[in-house]
Structure formats: C-alpha cells, structure tokens
Structure 1
Amino acid sequence: MSTTGANADPLAALGSLPGVAESVESVRKAVDRVYGHRIMRRRSNEITSEAALRGARGSAALSGADWALEEVRRRTDFSGDEEAHTVGAALRLTAEAGQLLSIWRQSPLRVLARLHLVAAAGQEDTVGRPRQDGEPVDEPLVELPLPDATEVAGRLEGLSQLIIAGGSAPALVTAAVVHGELLALRPFGTHNGLVARAAERIVLVGSGLDPKSVCPAEVGHAEPGRAAYLAALEGYVSGTPEGMATWIAHCGRAIELGARESTAVCEALQRGAA
C-alpha cells in the first residue's frame, strides 16, 4: 500500500471505497451484540480467555496447523513437530498481544519485532528483525511476489508513521491494512502470518472497537478456509480500489464471525453448557 501522495490520511481515504462503510457498520453491530449480552456483564474474563484460545487455533490453522479446538485446549507441550511449534507460537502471540497495547501507537516497529521474537521463541539467528537481501522466507502458504529488503524497510517505516500519526480511519480499515501489509511484505524470515494476525488483534483492541478482545478475527479468517483468505489477500496486494475494498470486507466479515463465535460461547455459558 502506498503511503505517499496528496491525501494526508490515506487510511481514511480507504473508508470511502465502495462497500467499506457498510462493512464498518456491520462490524460495529456485530461487536455491540456481543458486548450487550448479559453474560458479558458478569463473566467477560471467561469470554476473553475462550476467545484467545479460539483465535490462536484459527491463526495456527491458517499457518498450516489445523488442530481441533479441544486438542489445543488440552495440550501443554508444543515442542514436538512443526505443527506443534506453530500452535504454540500462536498461543504465545495471543497472550503477548494484550501486553503490547500501550507501546503500539508509540513504536509499532518495536511491537512487531517483539511479536516475532515471541513467535520464533529464539529459534533463529534472524529473530526479531526484518530480513535482509538474500535471506530466505519460510511462509509456504503465501505464494505472492516477495518484495526485496529495501522495499520492505521503506514500507514498514511508512506503515509505522501512519500508526503513530493516527487519523480518522475506522478501526476495521486500519486493522485490515496492518494485516494485509505485513502479509504482503513478509518482513521476517518466519511466522509472518501469525505476526500479521496478532498485529490486527492489537489494532482492534487498542482502537476501542473490541477492548476486551472477545471478537477473535482469526476465527473468522480461518472459517472460510485458506483459499478464500489468500484470494482476498491477493486483492490487497493488487493495490486496486476493488481489491482493497474486497480485502477490507473480508476482514470485516472475519470480525463478525469472531463476534458470532463469542456470542455462541455466551449462550452456552448462559445455558450452563460451558
């Protein structure tokens, strides 16, 4: 996404794309329904914890580790194969995201470095820093042209400046751009998808749209499957108005599905079934 040009707030300009305002309103209504549930007034911490677990499961599934929810819930050792490492990384990132909210608006690049450090768990020499020219990227499920290190550095800096400056863009738009830009750039050697989705979560919570983190967008990204997720991402990478609007709408629908998931959890708790 270009961050230059005459418009001082390019993220706000995306809010005027066809269908985006409708997505923003639909997301707001879905989030409000969860927060208005009577269970949220008494047991919101339980909903937050369950949303974190389900969000981590969804994010791991999009990175190739599609485990059943109950397997994620019961497992305590994630030191086995590659899928176990991925699920463990997703769980760590979900827990870490909530600790980084106060830093995000002042130093988003520092937060991204921290997220990668947590995801990689010190397993790589390149952990916590953007890749350099010639360094490989292990993100096999995202088959898109890979920007070179110079472009990555410039676009990361541009994204950082937009976050620090703030603006009038809806939270959905900002979250979608952060998520899409990180997946398009794949700035780290590994775990870019997990980091991108954790950063999206930080934006949604920190913006006040979902302050209790009970609407796990990762669930909604995973539900239609990886093919639909990657097809929407291609729209973002295209940079066209239609492609950007498609990606933002996809992210909006993901939040709605996450909200629906937590509403179902509220209903189960109300019935005494969970």
Structure 2
Amino acid sequence: MDPLAPLLDLADVATALAGARDRVDAAMRHRALRRHGGQVAAEASLRAAVASAALEGNAYDLADVRGGTVTDPVAQGALRVAEGISGLVDLWPRAPRQALAKLHVLAARGVVPTDDLGRLTGSAGRIDALADLVAGNDRTPPLLLAAIVHAELITLRPFAGPAGVVARAAARLTLINRGFDPRGLIAVEVGHRSREPEYVGSAGAYATGTPDGVRSWLRHYAAAVTEAADETTRIGDEVLATV
C-alpha cells in the first residue's frame, strides 16, 4: 500500500494535485517541444537554477547568469546541480542517500569546507526513513512523493550550506525519475520563487507536523507546479519566436 495515500484525503489536496498535473500535460503539448525540446529543457534548467539560488538568498538577474558574469558560489552550485541532475536519475530510486550526497557536493562546493561535502549534519534516522520511502517506490503518485521529499529535506536541512538547493533538486529528480517530467521541462523552482512568501510559510507550516500544515504545503506545491508549467509554455513561445 502507498504509505502517503492518506494525504490525498486532506481537503482540496487531491484536486489541487490533479489540476497541476493537467496544466503540466497541457504544457507538454506545446509545439516547440516537437523540434526544439532540448532548447526548452536547457532554458528551463537554467531558470530553475537561478530561482533555486535566489530562494537561498542569492538572487541574480537571469541575463547575468546566462552571460556567465555571476561567480557567486551558491549560484554556481545551483547551476552545477541543474546540469548534474540527469546523471543521478537512475541512482535516485536505488540509493537515495548516495544521490543526496552527490547533490550536496555539487551544490556546496566552494561554500562549505571540503570535509563537509556530502556529509550529513544530523537527522540520520529521518533521512533513512525518507530514503526508504523513495527507494523503489512506484506506488505514491509522483507529484505527491516529490512534494514530501522536498518538504522533508527543507525541514531537516541535513547538509551544511545551501541545503535548500539540494531539497529542490531531489524533488525534481523524483519528478523526472517517476515519469512525471521525464525531459526535465518543468522548473518547479520558478514556481516556488514566484510565490516565495507562500513557499516559506507553507514549509514552516509543514514542519509543525499537523494535518493543516501538511495540507498547506501540498496545496502550495501544486500551485508552484502549475506556475512552472506556465513558465514552460512561455519558454516554448519564446523559442518559437526566435527560430
């Protein structure tokens, strides 16, 4: 049985997640993806990295990051993570803790001491429980699983430095691996960034462990995915306008 299934009974959660899925499905039908899917994916990945760094308090203009003039280590780490996600897709469901350590090495190089890269700072028991939830889980709907992965990791912050970058990347890994977004076209980080006060507030609510707190987070996550789907559509429109 799906251990997270009861969360779908929280008020409005199933409806919100289904609506987000519908918006993603619509974005995946964009004409630009027929011939220019790689270009759309690359731009979505860049925007995801910029948004993720901004959510860590390191905000830069997209144009500056694209132009290569931003040397901030957190932003550079977010870019490395965005580039490295594809190489961890198969590892994630087999060895989640190893994949998380690799994400932290990518995200935190130049931010934390070398000896701390990939090393947990605490919460090992709860991380083990999360790893057990992820490993081989083909029962939980992908969007629900990604939301819980993200929330657990930003609540625990089990790594030094930009742990939020790791949390958002792990959620994205979940969506890619489980086939919700196999091409990496949905930059959920952009949705979180556009709704940052809600993102922070609902994450704090989740950390309380109450049903209302979890519901708040899941509703936010669905809204962020919906925003990200709309961003994919905008990217597709921009790509078609330039070809």
Regarding TM over 0.5, the answer is yes
Query: 2:73 touches 2:109 (CA, 8 Å); kept in 1?
Result: no
Cα deviation digits, residues 47-85 of structure 1 (max 9, x gap):
00000000001001100111111011001562xxxxx11
2-side partners of 1:165 and 1:100: how far apart?
A: 15
The match for 2:174 is 203
- Offset, 1:13: 2.0
Q: Which amino acid aligns with 2:76?
A: G
What stretches of structure 1 move > 6 A for 4+ residues in a row? none
- Offset, 1:12: 2.1
List aligned pairs for 1:67-216, cutoff 5 A: 67-75=60-68, 78=71, 84-121=72-109, 123-124=112-113, 125-131=115-121, 149=122, 152-216=123-187
2-side partners of 1:253 and 1:76: how far apart?
A: 32
TM-score (norm 1): 0.84
1-side partners of 2:68 and 2:138: how far apart?
A: 42
2-side partners of 1:238 and 1:9: how far apart?
A: 23
2-side partners of 1:206 and 1:270: how far apart?
A: 28
Cα deviation digits, residues 20-65 of structure 1 (max 9, x gap):
1112211111111111111111110000000000000100110011
The match for 1:233 is 203
The match for 2:45 is 52
Partner SS, residue 9 of structure 2: coil
Q: Which amino acid aligns with 2:109?
A: A
1-side partners of 2:139 and 2:172: how far apart?
A: 19
Gap regions ≥5 residues in structure 1: 1-7, 79-83, 132-148
Gap regions ≥5 residues in structure 2: none
Q: What's the Cα RMSD here?
A: 1.5
- Offset, 1:16: 2.2
Partner SS, residue 105 of structure 1: helix
1-side partners of 2:83 and 2:117: how far apart?
A: 19
Larger radius of gyration: 1
Q: Which amino acid aligns with 1:153?
A: A
Q: Which amino acid aligns with 1:181?
A: E
Higher normalized helix content (fraction of residues): 2
Query: 1:24 touches 1:170 (CA, 8 Å); kept in 2?
Result: no
2-side partners of 1:15 and 1:212: how far apart?
A: 26
1-side partners of 2:90 and 2:136: how far apart?
A: 15
2-side partners of 1:98 and 1:33: how far apart?
A: 23
The match for 2:19 is 26
